[in-house]
Amino acid sequence: MQPEAPDAHDLIYGLTDRPKPAPAILAALQHVLAAFVGIITPPLIIGSALGLGAYLPYLISMALMVSGVGTFIQARRPFGIGAGMICLQGTSFAFLGAVLSAGFMVKQRGGSPEDIMAMVFGVCFFGSIVQMVLSRFIGQLRRVITPLVTGIVITLIGVSLIKVGMTDLGGGLNAPDFGEPINLALGVFVLLVIILLNRSNTPWVRLSAIIIGLAAGSIAAWFGGKLDPRSISDVALISMPVPLRFGFSFDWAAFLPIALIYLISSIETVGDLTANCMLSREPIKGPGYIARLKGGVLGDGVSCMLAATFSAFPNTTFAQNNGVIQLTGVASRYVGLYIGAILFLLGLFPVIGAILQQIPKAVLGGATLVMFGSVAAAGVRILAQSPLDRRSMLIIATSLGVGLGIAAQPTLLHHLPQLAQNLFDSAITSGGLTAIVMSLLLPEGKEAIAVKKQEPQALEH
C-alpha cells in the first residue's frame, strides 16, 4: 500500500525548492539516521559468514561511500540518470542469499577471501548491466514480474534470511559457544528493545530503534563479558576507494540467481519511486512520470555498477526514507545532495567499520531477525493486495512449496548437473522462477483482468 500523499501545505519544501544549508543538513541527517544500519548490516553479515573479517572495515567504508555517490546521482539526475528525487541508495538485503551462495561456492572450491570477493563483485557488476537494460523496458517488465510474483519472491527472501539472523543470535556459524544462554539472552534483549521502541509514539524514537537496540545490546554484552573492545589504533585513518581492488571473476552459476534478484529489485524500485512521487506531490501517470521511473531504475543500476567496481554490495532505493519525507515534510531533491555528501564523508573513515565490526554476533542477530522478518512481512503485504483467486493461490502455494522445500532439503538436487544445483539450490531462485513460469502459463480469470485494468500504471506496494 502506498503512503498517503500529504496535502500541499504539509510539504515544507517541495521537490524543486532549495532549503538553506542548516535545515537541509538537519533533514539530511534524519535520512542518514534512518538508513545507516540498513547500509552497514549486509556487509557485516556477508563478511562474517564468508570469513572476510580482515576486510570488513574497508567493505563498510565502501558501502557508505557508494551509497553516498548513488544518492547524489539520484538527486542530481545527470544525463537523465536518476529520478531527480530523494532516493537514498543503500545496500540491499534482497541480494544477501544470492551473494552468500556465490561466496560459499568459491569457498568450497578452496578460494581465498580475495577470490570470493572477486567472484561476488564480478557477477554483481554484470548484473547491474541487466538492471540498466531493464530500466528501458519498465512497462513491459511489469507484465512479467507482477505484484504476485514480486510478493512471492520478497517473502522467500525474508524467510530465507531469517535463518541467518537466528544463526547470529545463537552466537554465529560454528561458534564454540553457539546457543549458550548468554547469547540467547542478548539476542532476545535486543529484540525486545527494538519492539518496545517501535511502539513509541515519538517518530524519531521509532526511526532510531535499531541503532538504540544495537547500542543497548553491545553495552549489555560488555557487562556480560561477551564484548571485549579491541584497539583500533592499527586501522587506517582514511579509506580511499580502489577500483577492482580484489580483481574480477565470473561464473554463470553464481550470476543467474543474482540476475533474477536484479529483475525483482527493479520492480521494487518502481513501487518505491511511485510512493516518493506521491509524497513529493508529483504526478504518478504520464510521460514525465515514466521518464522519472526509467531514470530512477537506471540510477539504481549505475549505483550497483559503482558498488561492484569499488568493493561494495548491490544497492537499491531504500523504501524507509519515504517515511522520513512524510515525517519531515521535506521533499526537496537538493536535500539528497547533502545526504550523499554526508554518507560519502562517513565512508572515508574506516574506524567506523572497525568499531561496528566488534558488535557481538548475538546482538547483531537480535536486530537482523527483526529486519529479515520485516522483509518477509513486506512480501506478505504485497501478496495481500493481489486478487487472491484460485489461480493466485495455486501459484503462491506451488512457489512457496518449491522454494521452502528445497531450502529444507538442500541435498535434494545433488544428483543434477552442477549448474542446475547452483541455480535452483536457492529458495529465492527456485521459488521465484516457479512463480514467473506459472504466471505466464496459467491464464488469468476475468475478475483479475478487470482489476488490472483499473490499476494505475505504477506497481503499488
Residue 163: the pLDDT is 81
- Adjacent-strand bridge partners of 13: 330
Return the exposure string of 187-215: e unless at least 16 CB atoms fall within 10 Å of the residue's CB, then b. bbbbbebbeebeeeeeeeebbbbbbbbbe
Under the banding of pLDDT at 50, 70 and 90, the label for residue 459 is very low
The x, y and z cell numbers of residue 269, run together, are 524500485
pLDDT in tens, 190-218: 999 988 988 888 777 776 777 788 889 98
Under the banding of pLDDT at 50, 70 and 90, the label for residue 461 is very low
Least confident of 1-10, 105-114, 214-223, 243-252: 1-10
Residue 7 has pLDDT above 60, yes or no: no
Q: How far apart are CA 129 and CA 262, in angstroms?
A: 9
Q: Identify residue 211 by its one-letter amino acid code.
A: I
Residue 299 contacts residue 82 (beta carbons within 8 Å): yes
Higher pLDDT, 192 or 452: 192
In 3D space, the residue among 269, 271, 371 whose CA is nearest the CA of residue 41 turns out to be 371
Percent share of the chain, pLDDT over 90:
26
Average pLDDT, the chain: 83
Higher pLDDT, 237 or 301: 301
Under the banding of pLDDT at 50, 70 and 90, the label for residue 451 is low
Average pLDDT, integer, range 328-347: 90
CA 154 to chain centre: 11
pLDDT in tens, 91-140: 988 888 889 888 988 998 888 999 999 999 999 999 999 999 999 888 77
Reported as half-sphere exposure (CB side, CA atoms, 13 A), residue 443 has a value of 2
